[in-house]
A and B are shown apart, each in its own frame.
Chain A
């Protein structure tokens, strides 16, 4: 593929800018011409003519005695149509305008075609014949053209052309153009005229084309061949000395072969290749028709994360914006095993070097001659203050290596090319970076000049100078890798993402602070992780003022919403109400959960407070207060109602978790509220009991409720008892329930305790207490023992309480019941 590439590049020099020649792997979309590459001025008929003509020319050339097999048969052709043919070569040699050449060649070939009688050309002959006749008939003037002689006519051109034409039908013809491929490489320009090839037989790898002819023809000739030609081209081209590369190409490139090539080539292509570097290998398809803001981002050959390139800034920019995507370099895997070829143009070598295989994460360099080793050396030399001895393209000799520890000498000795002159490694000004893109010869001269100036070897730089492999990575590359690694540490919320590390780090720091106060100053390296600020991105679709509707084009830069779905968000209140209306339970659950988390925070407050540093304590305190506030308020149904809402409590308690919540919450509530809650419980006990039948978790409440009760005043106690008894039959229900019974007993016991402990207690002030107790006793007596559920515990002073109010007989009965 790279041969093709070079061919391509060379062709480009003829200033045909209509795009690229297709190769089998990638079709240039922008320039995908149906009828061959670059159908610019002429139509296919003219091209056909020309190609046919060129083919004839090939045979003619052979007939003239340029050798090559199978051409003998064409001698008759050559003789018959001498005049016409001769004119053409001269015009071909001086690069003619395409159309004229086409016409000329076609005419000559066409004139020659009728007498052609070679076996293998029977088929096409007819076609060409008819075409030729057609054209000739149309324009007799054409036929008259081409009366010049043909000195050293390169028949290969015509041969190739015609064969290319025929290639559509007969693959075996196709090899014809391939011999042209190698010769078109610049280094063979002046003298090398390859012996003529022939469509019939297997072509000797040469054709008598002048360089430009070959260029031109290939430009034209290869195109019509289309897809199927490509393979054979490559296969054939293999015969010419495979353009294969050893794995060590990067270093070998700078060895003898390249030097020899460059020597023999001279620099015919250097100047244009300067242009090539930018235009050709980096040439991109024309940008898509969209502005960078609205439209798609430009196609990148190198993915967006690849590390920075070499210091060629303009090329760099060029590369970024005009990727090499279009110029596909064929994978060169299959070429590796073959030995390094002799005849490679610098171009192809460049392409090899720049092939995708050789590209690591580091993108291709524009200055391909310089390998990484060389660059490292340059850097070394810069650092060290002198060049690496010998021209940079060559590797340094093996002598200077620091013997590596513990073992045999480094195995890369064999990789060395011709050991470069370890010349006086002294000179004053080091080799500059921006000289990397000089032509190798130029660079050599430069370094030689510098060497001759000499200089002092800086003391102590020996070690560094002897290690040529340092600085293989540029600073930029190192930074790039570091950046990537650090990116992984970015975090908007480090305590969330990396809790344990953060805590560990803090511990370490504190410990070090303590230790360092006493011990010596040791600066420990700190890892500073990048802090990323949280940025809110809201999407706003691109809109133009005054336009109707939205953009139709959507791309990476302006994604468009496909569906304009309107999101309606409801406020919390509304949500609550709605949910209350439609789904009370869910809301209750939600409340319970919310309260629970608040409760947990409240319960943890103590712990946090102790652990928190001084400055945080105030904040914590505030937090705590607000939490408790919230908790209290959540028990109230409406914001303005200070009383605890019965309904709310009941609803919460209807959830198992809610009961637990209340039991844990009670100790934290202010006494008023706690009392109110307990009241509510008492009041709604039957309902609660009913709901609790399955779970039987009301008993969790016993303890906190008892605690509350014990803090109640006598009046409230009385109230509580009253509540408990409530409506008719409530007490019976209460007695059925374990919790109820327990609660009752607790209340009574509390009352008794009050009475017995404090003679002045107000419990007896009104009759309520007495009456209530009486009703309790009545109930107790009436209720059968079986239905009386055993309490969690029986307070001991109940009997004494009852003894105040009932007579002996009943007391005994009660006693039984209580047991």
Chain B
């Protein structure tokens, strides 16, 4: 039987997940994605944001894989609308920031300070 086109999933260094048709790749792993969708996961929910055409610079790619369309999809994930997922994400970020703040405060009280690794590239 005919195979449909395989979508690819790429995980970027900043944590974004893109799904789309991989049209082109080069020696640096620069990618050209077509009909891309950014998938945001929060907890058990996820939302897809259509993004169009993406050109990803190779150095930002963490991993790239083909999505097997034929495999049965038995995830527990539940798809929600874009607004909802963005809202969820915002809440998640907020919560994280709160805990981070609390932690920093506690550390400060004890006279310790752990520098935040804002930029993952720093060695």
Residue ranges of A at the interface with B (Cβ–Cβ < 8 Å): 305, 360-361, 404-408, 410-412, 460-461, 463-464, 467, 469-470, 472-473, 478, 480-481, 484-485
Interchain CB contact under 8 A, A484 and B37: no
Greatest chain B CB density within 10 A among A405, A406, A473 is at A406
* Residue pair A484, B27 in contact (C-beta under 8 Å): yes
Partner of A407 from the list B5, B23, B32, B37 (CB cut-off 8 Å) is B37
Report the bound CA distance from A6 to B59 in whole Å: 39
Known A-B contacts A305-B27, A473-B25; the reply to A410 vs B2 at CB < 8 A is no
* Distance in Å: Cβ of B78 to nearest Cβ of chain A: 15
How many residues of chain B are within 8 Å of chain A by beta carbon? 19
Closest to B20 in A: A404
9 A-B pairs besides A404-B35, A463-B4, A470-B5 with CB distance below 8 A are A361-B27, A405-B48, A405-B50, A406-B37, A407-B37, A408-B50, A410-B52, A411-B53, A480-B27
Q: Nearest-CB distance from B111 to chain A (Å)?
A: 39
* Assembled-state Cα–Cα distance A406/B51 (Å): 10
Q: Mark B18-49, 1 if CB is under 8 A from A, else 0.
A: 00010111110000101101000000000011
Q: How far is the CB of B24 from chain A (nearest CB, A)?
A: 5
22 A–B contacts from the bound complex (CB under 8 Å): A305-B27, A360-B26, A361-B26, A404-B50, A405-B35, A407-B48, A410-B35, A410-B52, A411-B52, A411-B53, A412-B52, A460-B2, A461-B2, A464-B2, A469-B23, A470-B23, A472-B23, A472-B24, A478-B25, A481-B27, A484-B27, A485-B27
Check A467/B27 contact, CB under 8 A, given A404-B35, A406-B37. no
Residue on B with the closest CB to A459? Answer: B2
For the complex of A and B, the 3 pairs showing the least CB-CB separation, nearest first, are: A407-B50, A404-B35, A406-B48
Least CB distance, A348 to chain B, in whole angstroms: 27
- Quick one: given A408-B50, A461-B2, A463-B5, are A481 and B26 in contact (CB under 8 Å)? yes
Among A305, A404, A410, A473, contact of B23 (Cβ-Cβ < 8 Å): A473
Cα distance A467–B6 when bound, in Å? 12
Is the pair A463, B2 in contact by a Cβ cutoff of 8 Å?
yes
Chain B 81-99, CB-CB to A under 8 Å as 1, else 0, gives: 0000000000000000000
- A464 close to B5 (CB less than 8 A): yes
When chains A and B are docked, how far (Å) is the Cα of A485 from the Cα of B25? Answer: 11
Is there an interface contact between A406 and B50, defined as CB atoms closer than 8 Å? yes
Name the CB-closest residue of A to B27. A484
- Per-position binary interface string of chain B over residues 50-80, scored 1 when its CB falls under 8 Å from any chain A CB and 0 otherwise: 1011000000000000000000000000000
**In the bound complex, how far is the Cα of B48 from the Cα of A481, in angstroms?**
30
Question: Chain A residues near B5 (CB, 8 Å)?
Answer: 463-464, 467, 470
A404 to B32 CA separation, bound complex (whole angstroms): 16
Contacts of A473 in B (CB 8 A): 23-25
* Residues of chain B lying within 8 A (CB to CB) of residue A472: 23-24, 32
Closest to A410 in B: B35
Which A residues are CB-close (under 8 A) to B25?
473, 478, 481
Quote the shortest CB–CB distance from B25 to chain A (angstroms): 6
Q: Residues of A contacting B48 with CB < 8 Å?
A: 405-407
Q: How many Å from the CB of B107 to the closest CB on chain A? A: 34
| Complex: A406 Cα to B21 Cα, angstroms | 14
Say how far A466's CB is from chain B's closest CB, in angstroms.
Answer: 10
Report Cα–Cα, A353/B17, bound state, in Å: 34
Give the complex CA separation of A472 and B32 in angstroms. Answer: 10
A373 CA to B1 CA, complexed, in Å: 27
Smallest Cβ-Cβ distance to B51: which chain A residue? A407
> Within 8 Å CB of A410, what residues of B?
35, 52
Bound Cα distance A481, B4 (Å): 23
Interchain nearest-CB distance for B114 vs A (Å): 29
A207 to B: closest C-beta gap in Å: 45
Least CB distance, A248 to chain B, in whole angstroms:
12
In the assembled complex, the Cα of A407 lies from the Cα of B39 at a distance in Å of: 13
Taking CB atoms, residues of chain B closer than 8 Å to A412 are 52-53
Bound-state CA distance A373–B13 (Å) is: 30
Q: How far is the CA of A410 from the CA of B2 in the complex (A)?
A: 24
List B1-17 residues whose CB lies under 8 Å from chain A: 1-2, 4-5
Interface pair A469/B27, CB less than 8 Å apart: no
Query: Taking A360-B26, A361-B27, A464-B5 as contacts, is the C-beta distance between A469 and B50 under 8 angstroms?
Result: no
Contact partners of B23 in chain A: CB under 8 A: 469-470, 472-473
Q: Which residue of A lies closest to B36 (CB)?
A: A404
Residues of chain A within 8 A of B49, CB atoms compared: 406-407
Q: Which residues of B contact A464 (CB under 8 A)?
A: 2, 5
Chain B residues contacting A305 (CB-CB under 8 Å) are 27
A179 to chain B, nearest CB (A): 41
* Least CB distance, A37 to chain B, in whole angstroms: 39
Chain A residue with Cβ nearest B37: A406
Cα distance, A473 to B21, chains bound together (Å): 13
Most buried by A among B2, B4, B37, B49: B2
Q: Give every chain A residue within 8 A of B52 (Cβ-Cβ).
A: 410-412
Least CB distance, B97 to chain A, in whole angstroms? 29
A379 CB to nearest chain B CB (Å): 13
Residues of A within 8 A of B34 (CB): 469
Give the shortest distance, in Å, between B57 (CB) and chain A (any CB). 14
Give Cα distance in the complex from A480 to B32, angstroms: 17
Tell me the complex Cα distance, A175–B1, Å: 66
A408 and B1 alpha carbons, distance in the complex (Å) = 30
